[in-house]
Amino acid sequence: MHRQAVHRLFVRQYQVGFSLLELLIVMLIMGVILGAVGLNAAQTSKQVLQQDVRRLAALMQLARDEAIVRNRLIALELDANRYSFFIKTDNAWEPLLDDEILRQREFKRSPITFSVSNAASNLAAWRVVFGRDPVDQAFVLALQHEQDSFSIAADGIGHFRVE
C-alpha cells in the first residue's frame, strides 16, 4: 500500500507535458513569425499596379504575335476598370471569349486613368489594333491609379517595355 502511494506521488511530480509558460512562449513565437510572413506577403498598391501593367504588356506582345500568325486583326480595348481583346471577323469585331490567355481581365486596382501618346487626352476608352504587318506605330500608354503610375512603351516593331 505504501509503495502505491509513493508511486502515485512520484508520477504526479514528474508527469511528462508542457507547462502553461512553455505553451505561451511557443504561441508568442508563432505569432511573431506569422506576422512577419503576413507583412511580406501583402502587396502594396504600387506593386499590384505594376503587376497589372506587366501582365498587360505581355498580353499586348502576345496579341501582336497572334495577329501576325493568324493573319487577322486583333484589338485591345482598354477602359478604367478592365481590358478585353477582340478579333476582326468578316464584318465585325468579336470578343475573344474562348481564349484563356487573351480573355477579358479586370484591373486589380480600379479605376485606372490612362493616357496615350498620339491620342486625345482624358480618354474614357482606348483601342489599339494589332495588324498583320510586323511594323506598327510606336506609342506610350501611361496607366495611373491614385499616386502610382507606370507606362508601356511600344517601339512599333513588336517590343513592349514597362517603365
pLDDT given at position 112: 85
Q: Does residue 74 surpass a pLDDT of 80?
A: yes
pLDDT tens across 7-28, in order? 565 555 555 667 788 878 888 8
pLDDT given at position 124: 61
Q: How many angstroms separate the CA atoms of 131 and 68, rounded?
A: 7
- Percent pLDDT > 90 in the chain is 7
Average of per-residue pLDDT across 66-85: 89
| One domain for residues 88 and 24 | no
Domain count, the chain: 2
What's the alpha-carbon Rg for the chain, to the nearest Å? 29
| One domain for residues 57 and 125 | yes
pLDDT given at position 121: 46
Domain of 124? 45-162
| One domain for residues 27 and 55 | no
Mean of the per-residue pLDDT values for the chain? Answer: 80
Contact criterion met (CB below 8 Å) for 78 and 143: no
pLDDT tens across 113-137, in order? 888 886 544 556 788 888 877 667 7
Q: How many angstroms separate the CA atoms of 128 and 155, rounded?
A: 14
Q: Tell me the CATH number at 104.
A: 3.55.40.10
Average of per-residue pLDDT across 65-93: 89
| One domain for residues 15 and 92 | no
- Percent pLDDT > 70 in the chain is 82
Model confidence band, residue 148 (pLDDT cutoffs 50, 70, 90): confident
| One domain for residues 67 and 144 | yes
Contact criterion met (CB below 8 Å) for 105 and 51: no
pLDDT tens across 32-65, in order? 888 877 766 667 778 888 898 899 999 999 988 8
| One domain for residues 14 and 55 | no
| One domain for residues 52 and 126 | yes
| One domain for residues 9 and 56 | no
